[in-house]
Amino acid sequence: MRNIVVGSVILTWFLMLSPAAVSAFQEEGTLRVGGMWALSGPAAYIGKSSKGLSALAIDEINEAGGVAIQGKRVKLAMSVYDDACKAEEGLTVVRRLADSDKVLFSLGPTCSNVAEPVFGTLQKRLGDATDTGLQFLFFTDTAIKFGLAKISPWAFRNVGNEPAMFELAFKLVKERHPELKTVAVAYESDFAHSVSTWKGATKPALEKYGYQVLDIVEWRFEDVEFGAQVTKLRKANADILVMMTHTFSTCGAVKEFKRQRVKAKLMVGITSSASTETMVGCGQAVEGMIIPTNFATINPKAKAVAEKAWAKYKADSNLHSVPAYENLYAIKGIVEKVGIKNEPATLLQDRRKVRDALATLGTFQGVIGPIKMNGDNDPVKPRDVDKAIILVQAKNAQWTVWWQPPEMEKK
């Protein structure tokens, strides 16, 4: 009798875990999508905003009837995981999303140091049976380090083009402030995004526009002591301070600026710092800082999205989080167009169909304007986007538009 009970429990457990138990994709009326972001740790403020904006897009899509698949309206259901901005966590989460949760695609990750190894687990050669990498689609909203989408044909990104953003930023600074000629730089030596932005985007831009770099200091992403580095920045006495550092360390450093009476004529910040978190954490100390970004509330649609995301999820709308919203709408359009089956047996084919359609998507509509997705054969940025660049400035505890493309200004 005891053996029968134990056997029944094991059988039930086995059945619960077997594919049959999760075979209800189209039948249960849902389309499964995934999201992996840094929802804990110092980068959590970025990941939580992406999660909030994606939740807003899902709410809107579901309230409007869902996604049309095989003549049936299905609702989006999202599996969300915290990778804590740690590569080892990300590697676990991607397997869970792809194999256990069987989602069609995933948003995220937040951090480039997670995206790099995670994309490394994806298939490198499409349709090659000998390539056993994961056939799993990412449409990343945040991890911004230049060139990450080149790692796998399954990796797509709707993120800013930082070399172009900083090129434009220093071009405009040069035009508007020709009297500023020298810079001092700070970056986080242990954080992939910070290092790559400094070396791959900011440094070339500074060289192009003839700025003299007087000193370069490094600290770590989670450092809390900046005395020695700030003393060096003070002694450099540069016209412009270029802070390629993220909110947590930026706020600590600018407090040290105050202690050591460091006063630059202008500060330029890293793209990720154009967030409410920076305003709250750093306060007046970042007044005047200029940052290139891809999002500002420059039109009614952007204002409405930002207000709804804040009201419903306390989610900040910025260049990292708004793409999560945009990507879900883009995928909805693709899914309805290419006609996936949304069944467990066709999951790999469905992912491939969506991947191929995304690679040939061309231009799709973003919140502040059109976004162009580069195809697989783009020589410089395959599977990355081109989109409008805006420059914002910290003014009276708010990010205000310092420059925007003339065509957007007219609208």
CB-based contacts of 10: which residues, under 8 Å, 6+ apart? none
Choose which of 36, 44, 243, 305 interacts with another protein (CB under 8 A). Answer: 44
Q: How far is the CB of 41 from another protein (least distance, A)?
A: 4
- Secondary structure (DSSP) of 134-176: B--EEEESS---TTGGGG-TTEEE----HHHHHHHHHHHHHHH
**Stretches 118-126, 250-258, 329-337, 373-381: which one binds another protein (CB under 8 A)?**
250-258
User: If DSSP codes are grouped into helix, strand and coil, which group holds residue 302?
Assistant: helix
198/387 Cα distance (integer angstroms): 21
Tokens 């909805």 appear where? 332
Interface with another protein includes 251 (CB under 8 A)?
A: yes
**Stretches 37-45, 71-79, 124-132, 396-404: which one binds another protein (CB under 8 A)?**
37-45
Interface with another protein includes 39 (CB under 8 A)?
A: yes
Residues that bind another protein (rule: CB under 8 A) add up to a total of 28
Q: How far is the CB of 203 from another protein (least distance, A)?
A: 17
Tokens 């059109």 appear where? 370
- State both tokens at 141: 């909203």
Interacting residues with another protein between 273 and 302 (CB under 8 A): 281
- State both tokens at 322: 């708004």
Whether the Cβ atoms of residue 38 and residue 84 lie closer than 8 Å to each other: yes
Q: How far is CA 270 from the centre of its chain?
A: 14
Select 93 or 169, whichever has its Cβ closest to another protein: 93
Q: How far is the CB of 191 from another protein (least distance, A)?
A: 12
384/146 Cα distance (integer angstroms): 9
Choose which of 258, 263, 314, 395 interacts with another protein (CB under 8 A). Answer: 258
196/331 Cα distance (integer angstroms): 29
351/334 Cα distance (integer angstroms): 11
Interacting residues with another protein between 150 and 189 (CB under 8 A): 189
Interface with another protein includes 260 (CB under 8 A)?
A: yes
Interface with another protein includes 123 (CB under 8 A)?
A: no
Choose which of 52, 66, 252, 269 interacts with another protein (CB under 8 A). Answer: 252
Select 60 or 223, whichever has its Cβ closest to another protein: 223
Choose which of 22, 29, 42, 214 interacts with another protein (CB under 8 A). Answer: 42
Angle at alpha carbon of residue 164, lines to 186 and 398, rounded to 5°: 60
Residues that bind another protein (CB under 8 A): 39-42, 44-45, 84, 189, 217-220, 222-225, 227-229, 231, 248, 251-252, 255, 258-260, 281
